[in-house]
Chains A and B, each alone.
Chain A
Amino acid sequence: MIAADAIVKCLEMEGVEYVFGYPGVAIDPFFNSILKTKIKTILVRQEQCAAHAANGYARITGKVGVCAVTSGPGAENLITGIATAFADSIPIVCFTGQVDSKLMGSDVFQEADISGACESFVKYSYIVRDPQEIPRIVKEAFYIARSGRPGPVLIDLPSDVQMLKMNGFDYPDEVKMRTYRPTVEGHTVQINKVMKELSRAKRPILCVGGGVQLSGAKEAVVAFAEKHRIPVVCTMMGIGVMATDHELFYGMVGNNGQPCGNRAMNEADMIIMAGCRVADRSFTQPDLIMAGKVLVHIDVDPAEIGKNAYPSIPLVGDIAHVFEAFLEQDLKVDTTDWLDTLNGYRSLGRNQKEAALKLSLKTKSRRTGVMPAEFVRRLSLSMDDNAIYVADVGQNQIWSCQNVDIRNGRFLTSGGMGTMGYAVPAMMGCRLAAPDVQAVAVCGDGGFQMTMMELATMKYYGIPCKIVVMKNTVLGLVRQHQHFVYHDDFSMIDIGAYPKLDMLAKAYDMDYLKVEDNDHMQEKIDAFLKDENSVLMEVMVDPAETV
């Protein structure tokens, strides 16, 4: 048994189904060894997409996603994918080939110090020098990736080390790390404090973030909100924790959120933040929002607590554990009046939106194409209840998160890093993770072109896909920024009308649909969702449309 055999053996022990990757001489021993296993490999078209696909796979299965690429340029291309996973705390393990260990540091062909380059956006990294360490390293890597606050772990594999003989193979049953021990259980004293404050609160609100999904705490969090009738708002990464149409859900907060959600935060007297990091896009001025309120901040990562906001009750722990503990406690919370107020805000918001929609539809001569907000609403309402909606980055993302309707499904996007091109490869990962679940990638024409080469990968492996491209021939979010800030002094925003998406769809043997106006929107959406083949839907959007 050589070291490469040992690595893939470890992957089998970890229950790995898929490895997304791209080969090269430095990682060839690894891919050669994988032939002897049942692990399936997915050869992508560019390394970044391997990391995004592993990301999508991890988010849907709750398992660790795995990718493997070669040294130098291969590893460097992976960087954006690693940073994207880090920003959203997604558990992936990335293997990179490395040059011969004796040549490392001498700038040989295809050498890059990848562990050095990624240091600030991996949770941990290893350079394997002794093959006997492999079982321990891989065991630790998977554990670090998925435990505590999840994140990417990098394992750099010099090519000669992969070929060395193993003196036996013993995969450890448990991780023995002297230094890494995340706090999972919430502290009882802090939990009791939260309960005490909650029983006093008149206007409590629960703000949920991506950490709730990561910890698998959705059921516990919803049960807690329902038990005490506490209203819920979410951050972008927390969309889908609560069904959009749930009576206790009041929308997304932040500068791209719904007015109703933001108003609820402003007027609350107690805020419980669960699994969100009080990030700049959700809370532009945390001090102002938190002033005079009881703030509870629950997160598994102690460093997030007190970084952007200063909670009155910090509570370190895994969201699932903490909310299970909350549920065990009995207390009386009366939120009837508070919910009445919020319901008023919510219907006001809905009425305003309806009115705006009607007005826009009447005055459609002003803008060409489709109303993106209405398109997203109709698309998501027509999708299956458990469907996966993958939003790319840009205006399409903001339209999506403001208008998407998620019942029992998932909403995925690159929230922290805002990586354009995330949606198509991530959706590929989702399709492999849950082949029977409907999944749709919604992109703009900018982001789509960053990773559209993966259409070939999906065709090759027979993975049917549904892709929406909102086409406005500009980089819309940047255009919008320059419209407001530079008063239409536009720079670097025109990307033109190419490629012709009908011909592109044909090139990849995909079906093609085009939505040019609001009138035919629904029938096209229905045809799109019903199609069993891979299908590309081009949605024409006016370049001057803003979010």
Chain B
Amino acid sequence: MEEENVKKKLNKKTFQLLVDNTSGVLSRISGLFARRGYNIESITAGVTADPRFTRITIVASGDDDILDQIEKQVRKLVDVRDIRELKPEESVYRELAMIKVRANAEQRQSVIAITNIFRGNIVDVAPESLMIEITGNSGKIDAFLRLLDGYEILELARTGVAGLARGTEHVVYIP
């Protein structure tokens, strides 16, 4: 029984994909997740230095069997050049969040103080609100949002995780 619980434990994995920059490639990948019932926690995509390719970072959750299947099924797609796991200890992840907080002149200073501690930036100030830009791994952003608990968050936009493996070991060279 215990063994089964361990086996079915929900895990999170961050995958890095290198895909052909064809029309519809993002829909092919997100469609695969949707129809097979895989969970996407976040997905980001952008063209690489070589315009033929797009790099996609996907954070997925599931038990180990599902995560294994995700990797195999994604690899099977014709447009996918490479998929690998970005292991936390060997990679750097970043996410950008933009947060619009209700703050009048009185409240402004304390919000700015918290933002500074988290090395965030104030990118817009209005009479009734502040806009904060903050970058970091998802944990840092979650922690920052918890600190804003007493303030009213008017709007929040998170980009999702982008990441790269450290060093040159895992670089895919394409002629």
Residues of A within 8 A of B (CB): 115-116, 119-120, 123-124, 127, 144, 177-180, 301-303, 306-307
Which of A115, A144, A180, A303 lies in contact with B24, CB distance below 8 A? A115
- Indicate if the CB atoms of A178 and B76 lie closer than 8 Å: no
**A residues within 8 A CB of B80?**
179
Taking A116-B27, A119-B24, A179-B79 as known contacts, 5 extra A-B pairs with beta carbons closer than 8 A to each other, sorted by chain A number, are A124-B78, A179-B81, A301-B76, A303-B73, A306-B69
**B residues within 8 A CB of A307?**
69, 72
Question: Does B102 reach chain A (CB closer than 8 Å)?
Answer: no
Interface positions of B from 1 to 45, Cβ below 8 Å from A: 19-20, 23-24, 27-28, 31-32, 35
- Indicate if the CB atoms of B31 and A120 lie closer than 8 Å: yes
Query: Known contacts A179-B81, A307-B69: does B23 contact A302 (CB below 8 Å)?
Result: no
| Complex-state Cα separation, A120 to B27, whole angstroms | 11
Main secondary structure of the interface of B (DSSP, over half): helix
- Indicate if the CB atoms of A306 and B19 lie closer than 8 Å: no
Query: Known contacts A119-B27, A302-B75, A303-B75: does B81 contact A178 (CB below 8 Å)?
Result: yes
- Indicate if the CB atoms of B72 and A302 lie closer than 8 Å: yes
Residue of A nearest to B34 (CB): A120
| Minimum distance in angstroms from B81 CB to a CB of chain A | 5
Which of A116, A119, A178, A302 lies in contact with B174, CB distance below 8 A? A178
| Complex-state Cα separation, A116 to B65, whole angstroms | 28
Residue of B nearest to A144 (CB): B78
- Indicate if the CB atoms of B78 and A180 lie closer than 8 Å: yes
Interface positions of B from 28 to 73, Cβ below 8 Å from A: 28, 31-32, 35, 52, 65, 68-69, 72-73
Query: Can you report 9 residue pairs joining A to B where beta carbons are below 8 Å apart?
Result: A115-B24, A119-B27, A119-B31, A120-B35, A123-B78, A144-B78, A180-B78, A306-B69, A307-B69
| Complex-state Cα separation, A116 to B31, whole angstroms | 10
Chain B's interface size range is 20 to 34
Residue of B nearest to A303 (CB): B72
**A residues within 8 A CB of B69?**
303, 306-307
| Minimum distance in angstroms from A416 CB to a CB of chain B | 16
| Complex-state Cα separation, A178 to B79, whole angstroms | 9
- Indicate if the CB atoms of B20 and A303 lie closer than 8 Å: no
**B residues within 8 A CB of A123?**
78
| Minimum distance in angstroms from B74 CB to a CB of chain A | 9
**B residues within 8 A CB of A119?**
24, 27-28, 31
Interface centre among B24, B69, B75 (most CB of A within 10 A): B24
| Complex-state Cα separation, A306 to B24, whole angstroms | 29
**B residues within 8 A CB of A127?**
23-24
**B residues within 8 A CB of A178?**
20, 52, 81, 174
| Minimum distance in angstroms from B91 CB to a CB of chain A | 23
| Complex-state Cα separation, A120 to B81, whole angstroms | 19
Which of A115, A116, A302, A306 lies in contact with B76, CB distance below 8 A? A302
Query: Known contacts A115-B24, A119-B31, A178-B174: does B72 contact A306 (CB below 8 Å)?
Result: yes
| Complex-state Cα separation, A124 to B27, whole angstroms | 13
| Minimum distance in angstroms from B65 CB to a CB of chain A | 8
Residue of B nearest to A115 (CB): B24
Which of B19, B31, B72 lies in contact with A179, CB distance below 8 A? B19
| Complex-state Cα separation, A178 to B80, whole angstroms | 9
**B residues within 8 A CB of A302?**
72, 75-76
| Minimum distance in angstroms from B141 CB to a CB of chain A | 33
| Minimum distance in angstroms from B119 CB to a CB of chain A | 39
Residue of B nearest to A125 (CB): B24
| Complex-state Cα separation, A301 to B77, whole angstroms | 11
Query: Known contacts A116-B27, A127-B23, A303-B73: does B35 contact A179 (CB below 8 Å)?
Result: no
| Minimum distance in angstroms from A473 CB to a CB of chain B | 37
Residue of B nearest to A304 (CB): B72
| Complex-state Cα separation, A303 to B24, whole angstroms | 22
Q: 4 tightest CB-CB pairs across the interface, nearest first? A: A303-B72, A124-B78, A179-B81, A180-B78
Residue of A nearest to B74 (CB): A303
**A residues within 8 A CB of B23?**
127
Residue of A nearest to B36 (CB): A120
| Minimum distance in angstroms from A311 CB to a CB of chain B | 13
Residue of A nearest to B35 (CB): A120
Query: Known contacts A116-B27, A119-B28, A178-B81: does B35 contact A303 (CB below 8 Å)?
Result: no
- Indicate if the CB atoms of B76 and A303 lie closer than 8 Å: yes
- Indicate if the CB atoms of B20 and A306 lie closer than 8 Å: no
| Complex-state Cα separation, A532 to B79, whole angstroms | 50
Residue of B nearest to A149 (CB): B76
| Complex-state Cα separation, A403 to B76, whole angstroms | 37
Query: Known contacts A119-B27, A119-B28, A303-B69: does B20 contact A179 (CB below 8 Å)?
Result: yes
| Minimum distance in angstroms from B62 CB to a CB of chain A | 13
| Complex-state Cα separation, A178 to B72, whole angstroms | 18
**A residues within 8 A CB of B32?**
120
- Indicate if the CB atoms of A306 and B68 lie closer than 8 Å: yes
| Minimum distance in angstroms from A486 CB to a CB of chain B | 29
| Complex-state Cα separation, A127 to B27, whole angstroms | 14
**A residues within 8 A CB of B52?**
178
Residue of B nearest to A120 (CB): B35
| Minimum distance in angstroms from A301 CB to a CB of chain B | 7
**B residues within 8 A CB of A306?**
65, 68-69, 72
Residue of B nearest to A148 (CB): B76
| Complex-state Cα separation, A179 to B32, whole angstroms | 17
Query: Known contacts A119-B27, A119-B31, A303-B73: does B78 contact A179 (CB below 8 Å)?
Result: yes
| Minimum distance in angstroms from B40 CB to a CB of chain A | 16
| Complex-state Cα separation, A177 to B32, whole angstroms | 21
**A residues within 8 A CB of B68?**
306
| Minimum distance in angstroms from B125 CB to a CB of chain A | 41
| Complex-state Cα separation, A120 to B73, whole angstroms | 12
**A residues within 8 A CB of B78?**
123-124, 144, 177, 179-180
| Complex-state Cα separation, A115 to B75, whole angstroms | 20
| Minimum distance in angstroms from A495 CB to a CB of chain B | 32
| Minimum distance in angstroms from B78 CB to a CB of chain A | 4
Interface positions of B from 120 to 175, Cβ below 8 Å from A: 174
| Minimum distance in angstroms from B53 CB to a CB of chain A | 9
| Minimum distance in angstroms from A337 CB to a CB of chain B | 35
